[in-house]
Amino acid sequence: MEQAEGLVTSAISGNGESPDALVVEGLYTGYGRKQVVFDVSLRVGRGEIVALLGHNGSGKSTTIRSILGLLPAQQGAIHYRDRNVTGISSSHRVRDGMAMIPSERFVFGDLTVLDNLLLGAGKERDEKVRSRRLEEVYELFPVLRERSHQRAGTMSGGQQRMLSLGLALMSAPKLLMLDEPSLGLAPIVVEQIFDTVARLARTEDLSVLLLEQNVGQAMRILDRAYVMRSGRLILEESAEQMRARDSYWDLF
Amino acid sequence: MFAAFDFDTVSQLTANGIINGAAYGLLGVGFALILGVTGRFHFAYSITYTLAAYFMFTFWDRVGLPIWPAVLLGVLAATALGVGMEQYIYRPLAVRAGATALLAIFVASLGLTIAGSNLVQLFWGSENQILEGPQQEVINWGDVAFLNFDLWSVISAVVLVSILAALMRWTDLGRQIKATRVNPELAEIIGISSHRIYLIVFAVGTFLAGTAAFWYSLKFSIDPAMGLRPVIFAFVVAFLAGTASSPIRVFLTGVAVALLEQYTSIWLSVRWTQTAVFVVLLVYLVVLAFEPRRVILSMFPQLAREKV
Amino acid sequence: MNYFDQVLIFVVFAVSLNLLLGYAGQVSVAHAAFGAIGGYAMGFLVVEHGWNYLPAVLLGALVAMIVGTVVALPALRLSVEFLILLTLAVSLVTIGIFTTFPVLGGTYGLIGIPQAEIFGYQLAEPRDWILPLLVVAVIIYLLCRRMGESAYGRVLKGLREDPDATRSLGKNVFAYKVSVFAVTSAMAGLAGGLYSGYLQLATPGVYSFDTSLKIFAIVIFGGIANLMGSVLGAIVVVLTEPLLERQPFIDLDARDASLIQLIIYGLLLVVLMMLRPQGILPEGFSIWRWLRGERGAAARAEMDAEGWVPDIDPATLRVGAEGSEETREREWHEAPVVLEVRGLSKRFGGIVAAQELDMDLHRGTITALVGPNGAGKTTVFNLLTGFIRPDAGSVKLNGTELVGTSPEHVARLGLVRSFQDVRIIPRLSCLQNVMLGVQGQTGEHIGKLFFAPRRSDADERHTRELAMERLRFVGMADFAHVPGGALSFGQSKLVALARVLVTDADVLLLDEPASGIDTKWVDTMLDLVEAVKHQGRTVCIVEHNLHVVGRLADHTYFMELGTITAQGTIAELTSSERLAEAYFGTSSVTGGGG
């Protein structure tokens, strides 16, 4: 299992050169009166695959929704590629290369596969660029090419997951956040998806923040992991340290 | 009670049905688009219809513009009004009211309608106004008689709806509108601004209503209460077709409703036909109430945001 | 004097619509149509059949009530948009029907209804009508007030805000929906009979859609669930027109005045919604309370303070030493079975929510249900409580089969649940929220409310005491009069716990009792759940936080893909390699560590 090389430098260094795709400092967020996330700080370096682990309801999804800008940060700051994006709208963040795949309802079920993918291309006006990206997605997931005119909602769970990943990739993101991508999928499909993500991280300079309960599969591809419980970060470990554990039950 | 059932009568009724159906269909498409994408029960659709006619009239009669520029400006002014309602009233209200937004928007919409229709009477008077455009001619096609206006209104309706359908199917904007309707949360996640989409949808819907108002004004006259009945038909058509349906399907539902209205006159006296459509709506709603929820949810995906 | 009469008639219309719309949350634009039924029926009977006025009015009200009941039936299953459309259709069809029959006057309606005569007195002048109308208005007001501010009204409010949560507390919301439609349409029919008698007309113009909108506007102005507001609203709305005509500033003729009046209503409705969606006077507003300055301000200040913890009597939490895991497990096995689940199965299309699920809950113990995401745990709660009907299987509570029973009946039999998203009714006070949970309240039945008033009132006092007791138990007694919507998430969870406790149900299903609670007092919450167990109740919790499970559970079920694959103590479960694999996934497809 390859190790990502030397991406353990700290956040924003004095001379302005930041290798980090994402830095979150002291984030507090929630839904109205319901506070869910308390004082979360994390970072994702360029080309790194970082996992955010924790039990259901520990605040992982809420954290990434706040990173994307769907939820306001009540306290704290979010830096994306050396820019402070706290307070900037989510559509701007998406345009700058942030992408997220939610854990549920992650495709436009009533629309065709092709429509879904074209929607992912978003603001990209250049036809040539779009077609190229579409081709790349079809190369990654040939089944999508076969079913390009099929309604997304009629495909199997695994195929829909692939489509959701393809949708996200159409925007050529720099930071990809995945919310429980393995949910409800057969292990072989999960392996395929994770392998694809890992390959993209290495070759395309894509930074990945992965939320999972399925620690086992994630362990193969991640560089570092954070663990959350009841809205707070309780742990940060490298992949090696994680693997050395004999049980994960303590984390949950 | 039973009129003569002969081919001539049926053809004429069919023609009438298609002519009325074009209007109902156009209105239904506009309303279904707004309701389906934004979830707002835009009762004030009726006042944008009425004001389109009055604006056109004002540009033509008071300002003195030739008929076609006046019509265009009138429709555009009404469209601006519809967009303004979303921007300055519905949207701030939705943000403020949170969970009770649906009712609050409905009440605000109601208020706009009441205020609007009485403002119209105050400024333009309660008498009917006449819009004079091209010369009215009767066309006879076999046993069927209709006006040149009717022919143009049907053609323009079909053209507009086809353009909209093409837009929805093949352009980026159309995809974004469908995406917002089908899965608003995911649309937001991929960076589609629901704010912008709502404004566009209100613009399109109001424009269609304005067009329908024009043909009505040309054929009949302009009066302050002209908005109520057409918009009720808009609701009926939108609900019968389902707000998730393509524009073509909603349009055809409008034609079907109009044909129903016409054909019932064969068996029922005219007094009943007026009510017949509403009875059909009533029956439909009752049946809907006793159908499994699955059917309702498949027709109105925006209702599928339930927590169980 | 003319205006005073009209005010009184519109008071009856508005107050009854407020009961339907404001208390029960049923958005109806057909209220004037029910008035039309009453008015036309009265007119028809008097003109065509020579009936006396009073009996004709009463029969008109009866007919309106029957129609209202019929309309309520489809309304049971329809969401708000559809309900609006339904009442709109009813409105149009009703007027349409009336204009079609020549015997009802066709498009012109019934004109020339003879002057009304009550007990031998001719009501010739408008001023003759004042006394009868005043009597009726006061009676209707008092009736609506009694209904709205009683246990019955509390259920209406529950129906308005959250029908499912209300059903989970044992209330048959459908029955309430039908009864409130029936009663309020009868009142509207009565108002119609009076209005047509007063005007000596029953025409489509009188009962047009505009009239329904006018009544709707009065209710909205005056305030949701605020009957005094509706009275004020009726006065304002009826008097605006003559006031506009007579004011000295701008010269307005009658026609302009009536137009401006309507423009003002319309704009006011919009402005009102933008500023105060709940109406000018807030719900539950009472002049007396306002004068007394009772505002719960002190409680609110305390509540917003950092480091708030619930004010619980330490005696309730003193539970004695908890045994070891093994002891608790053994005690679990020894206790009798209260809830027996066998072979529970449910599919949603291709997704398996439950498959041959077997589970037992033992008396006086806490059982936990854990499992990886997507295992279907909350769905199990829905299946047990009747919110979803299983495809197969049986659920027996103390021997009684629950499958096939409605959720409200399941609750009444003694199985009650809490919700992951809490579902406290924001516009009710904490006390009222908890009172909603009490079973068998006399005042919930209209009949008993009016024919056994003393018993209903005594019962209401008793309900209040029970609710306060539970609020004290969870440490929220100081917040009794604070509206549910003002609470923090953790505080509302405490109130929700009090609410399920007050039902006195044998079995409590708690969905994630510890999630979202401030770490400062999450242990207190766990102590409370334990205290509940020690009172002899049977508890089942769904939890994702395994530390919470370790602390609370006497026995744990591990659920995977809709079925129980393991059970025992947490220590046993976490030491199983196979379970670790199921929960955390394998590190490679070929299995084994890596």
Give the mutation candidate from A74, A230, A232, A248 for the C interface (greatest C CB count, under 10 A): A230
Contact (CB<8Å) C516/A35:
yes
Which of the four pLDDT bands, split at 50, 70 and 90, describes residue A5?
very low
Is A235 near chain C, with CB under 8 Å? no
Q: What is the pLDDT of residue B24?
A: 94
C493 contacts: CB under 8 Å, gap ≥ 6: C422, C513, C516, C517, C525
In A, which residues are within 8 Å of B190 by CB distance?
A: 94, 99, 119-120, 122, 167, 171
Segments in C103-208 forming alpha helices (H): 126-148, 151-161, 163-167, 173-199
A18 pLDDT above the threshold of 60: no
Measured CA to CA, the distance from residue A88 to residue C481 in angstroms comes to: 40
Check residue C79 and give its pLDDT: 77
pLDDT for A14 equals: 39
Q: Does C266 sit within 8 Å of B112, measured CB to CB?
A: yes
Burial class (CB in 10 A: 0-12, 13-18, 19+), C504: middle
What does the pLDDT look like over B231-268, one tens digit per residue? 888 988 998 888 888 999 999 999 999 998 888 877 77
Question: Which of B175, B193, B244 lies closest to A115 in CB terms?
Answer: B175
Segment B141-183, tens digit of pLDDT: 887 888 888 999 999 999 999 999 999 999 999 999 999 999 9
Taking phi first (over 0 means left), then psi (-120 to 50 degrees means alpha), and beta for anything else, what does residue C266 get?
alpha
Distance separating alpha carbons of residues C267 and C246, to the nearest angstrom: 21
Chain C residues within an 8 Å CB radius of A40 = none
Contact A120 B175 (CB under 8 A): no
Q: How far is A101 from chain B (nearest CA, A)?
A: 8
The whole-number pLDDT of residue C15 equals 96
Cβ-based neighbours of C379, under 8 Å, separated by 6 or more:
C346, C353, C354, C388
Q: Residue C306 has what pLDDT?
A: 63
Q: At A147, give phi and psi (nearest 5°).
A: -105, 30
Beta-carbon separation of B288 and C92 below 8 A: no
C 262-291 residues inside an 8 A Cβ radius of B: 262-270, 272-274, 277-278
Q: Residue B163 CB: number of other CB atoms within 10 A? A: 11
DSSP C355: E
| C-alpha–C-alpha distance, residues C407 and C412, integer Å | 9
Cβ–Cβ contacts within 10 Å for residue C393, how many? Answer: 18
CA distance A3 to C532: 51
- pLDDT tens, residue by residue, B203-224: 999 999 999 999 999 888 899 9
Which alpha helices (H) appear in C342-427, and where do they start and end?
377-385, 407-413
b/e for C359-375, b at 16 or more Cβ within 10 A?
Answer: bbbbbbbbbbbbbbbbb
> In chain A, whose CA is at the least distance from the CA of B184?
A108
- Chain-chain contact of B286 with C421 (C-beta, under 8 angstroms): no
Would residue B34 be called left, alpha or beta, if left means φ above 0 and alpha means ψ between -120 and 50 degrees? alpha
All residues at 6 or more sequence positions from B4 whose CB lies less than 8 Å from its CB, including other chains: none
Contact B251, B24 (CB under 8 A): no
**pLDDT score of B169:** 92
- How high is the pLDDT of residue C107? 77
The phi-psi region of residue B128 (left if phi > 0; otherwise alpha if psi is between -120 and 50; otherwise beta) is beta
pLDDT of residue C398: 93
> What local confidence, expressed as pLDDT, does residue C587 receive?
56
List chain A residues with CB under 8 Å of C519: 38, 230, 232
CB atoms within 10 A of CB B272: 16
DSSP B39-84: ----TTHHHHHHHHHHHHHIIIIIS---HHHHHHHHHHHHHHHHHH
Quick one: pLDDT at residue A6?
A: 30
Would you say A153 and A107 are in contact if contact means Cβ atoms under 8 Å apart?
yes
DSSP A103-135: SSS-S-TTSBHHHHHHHHHTT---HHHHHHHHH
3-state secondary structure of A50: strand
Query: What are φ and ψ of residue A110, in 5° steps?
Result: -85, -5
Q: Please say if the pLDDT value at position A65 is more than 90.
A: yes
Residue C444 DSSP one-character state: G
Residues 6+ apart with CB under 8 A from A180: A103, A211, A212, A213, A214, C373
Residues 528 to 557 of C: which have CB under 8 A from any B CB?
none
CA distance B98 to chain C (A): 10
Q: CA C594, CA C584: separation in Å to the nearest integer?
A: 13
DSSP code per residue over C504-534: T-SEEEEESTTTT--TTTHHHHHHHHHHHHH
> Concatenated DSSP letters for B127-168?
S-B----SPP-EEEETTEEEEHHHHHHHHHHHHHHHHHHHHH
Above 50 in pLDDT, residue B41? Answer: yes
CB atoms within 10 A of CB C112: 9
| Phi and psi at residue C540, to the nearest 5° | -130, 130
- What H or E segment, with its residue span, contains residue C471? helix C453-473
Residues 58-77 of C with CB under 8 A from B: 73-77
Res B64 pLDDT > 90: no
CB-CB under 8 Å, A107 with B186 = yes
Q: What is the pLDDT of residue A143?
A: 92
Q: State the pLDDT at residue C575.
A: 85
The dihedral through the CA atoms of C114, C115, C117, C121 has a sign that is: negative
Residue C274, helix vs strand vs coil: helix
Nearest to A191 among C522, C584, C589 (CB): C589
A78 phi/psi in degrees, rounded to 5: -125, 120
Phi, psi of A90 (to 5 degrees): -65, -35
Best mutation target among A31, A96, A98, A119 (most B Cβ atoms within 10 Å) is A119
The bridge status of strand C538-542 relative to strand C507-511 is: parallel
Which band of pLDDT confidence, cut at 50, 70 and 90, is reported for residue A119?
very high
CA distance C586 to chain A (A): 5
Q: What is the overall mean pLDDT for chain B?
A: 86
Question: Chains meeting A at 3+ CB pairs closer than 8 A?
Answer: B, C
CB within 8 Å: A94 and B191: yes
Which pLDDT score is estimated for C593?
Answer: 40
pLDDT, tens digit, 9 for 90 and up, residues C327-385: 888 888 999 999 999 999 998 876 788 999 999 999 999 999 998 776 678 889 999 99
What lies within 8 Å, CB to CB, of B33 at 6+ separation is: B164, B177, B201, B204, B205, B243, B247
DSSP C21: I
Distance (Å) from the C-alpha of residue C285 to the closest C-alpha of chain A?
Answer: 25
d(CA C253, CA C242): 10
Residue from C19, C397, C340 nearest C182 by CA: C19
State the greatest distance between any 2 C-alpha atoms of chain C, in Å, as a whole number: 99
The rounded distance, in Å, linking the Cα atoms of B186 and B183 is 6
Mean pLDDT by 10-residue block, N- to C-terminus, for chain C (594 residues)? 88 96 89 94 90 92 95 82 83 85 79 82 84 94 94 93 92 93 96 93 85 85 87 88 76 78 84 70 51 49 65 74 80 92 87 89 93 78 92 94 93 94 90 95 89 92 95 92 87 95 95 85 90 92 88 91 88 84 62 39
B210 in helix, strand or coil? helix
Flag whether the pTM goes above 0.90.
no
With contacts defined as CB-CB under 8 Å, which chain B residues touch A177? none
Contact present, C181 and C69 (Cβ < 8 Å): yes
pLDDT of B195 higher than 50: yes
CA distance B85 to chain A (A): 24
Interchain contact, B188 vs A70, CB within 8 Å: yes
**Core vs surface per residue C437-476: b (16+ CB within 10 A) or e:** bbbebbbbbbebbeeeeeebeebbeebbebbbebbbbbbb
